[in-house]
Amino acid sequence: MIQGIQHQMPVLTEKISNTGTVKEAHGQFSTFLKESLNQVNNAQKASDLATEKLARGEKIDLHNVMIVSQKASIAMQTTIEIRNKAVEAYQEMMRMQM
């Protein structure tokens, strides 16, 4: 049994060493988070622009305005739900007793 586990140790050690550092993971997560928030912001801006064009009477289809608006709304709702879950997870960790 021990020999079977020892045989797998080099493979496990290699996998652990390839995962990178916590600092690298933090950087990747923060970059991902910033990019995601920028995408939500861009969706909101596109929705605002389409709505303004419709209000000014420019040639834009109402259904396109509604689609862009709904995409922005869904993106914002998703972002808010993710934030809520992150806050809940943080609060749960703070309530844990050591």
CB 79 within 8 A of CB 90: no
For tokens 């050690």, the residue is 13
Query: Does residue 71 have a pLDDT over 70?
Result: yes
For tokens 């969706």, the residue is 43
Full-model pTM? 0.69
* Mean predicted confidence (pLDDT) in 63-70: 97
Residue 93 and residue 84: Cα distance in Å, rounded? 14
Q: What is the pLDDT of residues 26-60, one digit of tens each?
A: 788 889 999 999 999 999 999 999 999 999 999 99
Amino acid at 57: G
